[in-house]
Structure 1
Amino acid sequence: MESKEFTAKTTEEAVRLASEYFNLPLGRLKVEVINAGSNGILGLFGKKKAKILATPTDANSTSMEVREVMRELTGEETSKPSPNRQASRTYTNQGSNDRHGETPSEEGKTTPQPESPEVLESARQVLVRLVDPLDADANIIGESTQYSIELKIDSHEIGILIGRRGQTLEALQYLTTRIVSHQEGRPVRINVDAGDYRKRRVESLQELASRMASKARGTRRPVAIGPFNAQERRIVHLALRNERGLSTSSRGRGEVKKVIISPRY
């Protein structure tokens, strides 16, 4: 497919230009950062603009490319899993913990505080800039809860903003979270929704988990569902954590894995 270079003051702005040029959502662009840009000395001398190479991808592409762009932007290195690391984890109704946050942990628990109005508005403005190439008329509202910043998009282009299986929405949430966390110098939890997609997705996954749990009990055999991303797997684990006689585990490698529902005797 056609590739094209884009230059702007920041990598974020260059990605937006690419999205506008190809008229594609962020989740369907493969982006290579050629130069992350520099503010120079005292912001006056030696300034360099950011340059990227953008290539449209097919509809089956995930937001992995977007994650790579943000790793370049924030200077993070892509972590590689250890070859000795197990590919699956098991959860029971006693509530096992997971390093990737698929199930809640009680250790070191502190009372979260809502983000300040300034951080909330900063997050909203970042999302406005990201959504603008897709729908300039979209309305974005936000609120700061005890656990996260909740941003909701009201748009006539809901289908485009959600994308196939929520991939574009996931990319928007990831980009917003990475940019705001980078600006604040600390992790900031941000949830982005459009057309109540995430709410409906949670309800759908909970219903599926309940139905497959009944099947596992009835057949007395493990049942595999998915594959799901980490957030979706967490929903399934939590939905079944209080089910007696059942355990759930994540199986597979990479970010997308299956959930195995197993009867316990």
Structure 2
Amino acid sequence: MSTTLEIEGKNVDQAVQKACQRFNLSPGELKYDILSYGSSGIFGLGRTRKARIRVRMNLVDVTADNVRGDATLEKSPEPGIGRQSPVPAHAEMPLSKSVKSAEPGNPVGAGKEVLQRIVDTITDNARIDVDTQPERVVFRIEGDNAAILIGKHGQTLEAMQSLIDKVVNKHNSHRIRVQVDVGNYMQNRKKRLIRNAQRLAQKCTQTKKPVSAGLLNAYDRRIVHIALKDNNSVQTRSTGDGLLRNLMILPRKTTGSGQRRC
């Protein structure tokens, strides 16, 4: 009869080392399954999860002195075969291995895997659906704690989108436009931006004076530029440097050069 002991460590190597020390075995003699690779979060954020292995031992080799600390004892229906069993489907993969498993042949799959890893460090029970559209690929996150995933003024969502955009387009000669959305937040914000842009354009037309739409990121500026590109009374212009730039709505001059997008 055999028994199994689950041992945790900061990573798999540490868990294996602890098991070897406990049972006075070399790594080559130890028989174990990897239950979890562990996680330190993304950029130091999110919950830290320990790596966990299941060590298979003959029952006669296990004594009370062996079972202590972070090991839990349970009976196993069959003896272990080989040094290391295949990784279970539910085991957590390191972020770097997750990316390599899906690129470069499937960049969208790589983006989904990385995004799932990020989301899992922030909240639980979140699902990601991929919607491939003619102009872009949308990663829709569904689950609890939407406010945490969106962040203040959508900053967390924008950060995730920027990262996934880089992952998806890492090996692509033709850029794929990427959008990450949580609970239709981005779609609703787009509608608000368009309504506000049309309102400000009307004000600009009536007063014949420039109107500021405020400091906007590149994605929001593009929405406003496109929303007003067919308006013959106004033109849009971005001023300033950095990620956030002031978007101005100006009366269109009859001899002007048209609209400039930034």
Please give the per-residue CA displacement for 1:38-96, whole angstroms capped at 9, x wherever unaligned: xxxxxxxxxxxxxxxxxxxxxxxxxxxxxxxxxxxxxxxxxxxxxxxxxxxxxxxxxxx
Is contact 2:151–2:157 with CA below 8 Å preserved after alignment?
A: yes
1:241 equivalent to 2:229? Answer yes
SS of 1:132's equivalent in the other structure is helix
2:150: which partner in 1? Answer: 162
SS of 1:19's equivalent in the other structure is coil
**C-alpha distance in structure 2 between counterparts of 1:162 and 1:16, whole Å:** 16
1:147 equivalent to 2:135? Answer yes
1:253: which partner in 2? Answer: 241
What amino acid is aligned across from residue 20 of structure 1 in structure 2?
G
What amino acid is aligned across from residue 240 of structure 1 in structure 2?
L
Q: Whose Rg is larger?
A: 2
Deviation at residue 218 of structure 1 after TM alignment? 1.2
Please give the per-residue CA displacement for 1:172-218, whole angstroms capped at 9, x wherever unaligned: 11111222333x35444321000101111110000101111111111
Q: How does 1:12-161 map to 2 (within 5 A)?
A: 16=42, 18-21=44-47, 118-161=106-149
Deviation at residue 149 of structure 1 after TM alignment? 1.7
**C-alpha distance in structure 2 between counterparts of 1:190 and 1:130, whole Å:** 16
Change (3 A) 1:131 1:242: same
Q: How does 1:152-191 map to 2 (within 5 A)?
A: 152-182=140-170, 184=171, 186=173, 187-191=175-179
2:210: which partner in 1? Answer: 222
**C-alpha distance in structure 1 between counterparts of 2:144 and 2:132, whole Å:** 25
**C-alpha distance in structure 2 between counterparts of 1:172 and 1:146, whole Å:** 22
CA RMSD of aligned residues (A): 2.9
What amino acid is aligned across from residue 45 of structure 2 in structure 1?
S
1:197: which partner in 2? Answer: 185
What amino acid is aligned across from residue 129 of structure 2 in structure 1?
I
Using the aligned pairs only, state the percent identity: 32
RCO higher in 1 or 2 (8 Å CA, sep ≥ 6)?
1
**C-alpha distance in structure 2 between counterparts of 1:172 and 1:7, whole Å:** 25
Deviation at residue 262 of structure 1 after TM alignment? 1.1
**C-alpha distance in structure 1 between counterparts of 2:121 and 2:12, whole Å:** 15
TM-score by length of 2: 0.56
The unaligned stretches of length 5 or more in structure 1 are: 1-5, 23-115
**C-alpha distance in structure 1 between counterparts of 2:43 and 2:203, whole Å:** 49
* Number of residues of Structure 1 aligned to a counterpart in Structure 2: 164
SS of 1:260's equivalent in the other structure is strand
Q: Find 1:212's aligned residue among 193, 200, 215.
A: 200
TM-score by length of 1: 0.56
SS of 2:46's equivalent in the other structure is helix
